[in-house]
Amino acid sequence: MAWCFEEQADSGVLGFLRLTKERGASVPGLWPLEVANTLLAAERRRLFPEAESTRFLDLIAHLPIHVDEATADKASSTTMALARAHGLTAYDAAYLELAVRLGIPLATRDKGLEKAAVRCGVSCLSSA
C-alpha cells in the first residue's frame, strides 16, 4: 500500500511495484479489504481525494495480483498457529501463511513479520 503514498514510495517500494508488474504477486483473501480500508482512511484524513483512490484502484486492477481463495479456510488453523508462535496479528500471519504454503518470498516492510518469515524459512523481499 505504500505505493499510493508519495512520502512512502521510495526505491524499495517502487522495486516491489516493478517486481509485481513483471512477475505477479499472490495476496491473502483479506487484501482487497485492506486496500479499501487504507484508501478510505487516507481520504478521511484528507491525505488525498477520492479521485486519487480511484486512480490507485485502477493501477491495482491492471497488476497481475492473485487473491488467494483459501485464506479463510486457513484462518482458524495454520494462520492462528503462526500468529501465536510468532506474536503476529492474524492479518500479518495470513501473509506469512500464504508465503509458506505457496513457497514464495514475502514482500514486507514490517520487521516483526520479516523476522517471523525468516524463522519459518521464507525468504523476504525487504525494501528497508
Supply the pLDDT for residue 101. 97
Which of 70, 61, 62 shows the shortest CA–CA distance to 28? Answer: 70
Please give the span between the terminal C-alpha atoms of the chain, in angstroms, as a whole number.
15
pLDDT in single tens digits along all 128 residues of the chain: 777 777 777 777 888 889 999 999 999 999 999 999 999 999 999 998 999 999 999 999 999 999 999 999 999 999 999 999 999 999 999 999 999 999 999 999 899 999 999 999 999 986 54
Centroid of chain to Cα 32: 10
Burial of 29 from C-beta contacts in 10 A (0-12 / 13-18 / 19+):
middle
Which of 112, 100, 28 shows the shortest CA–CA distance to 68? Answer: 28
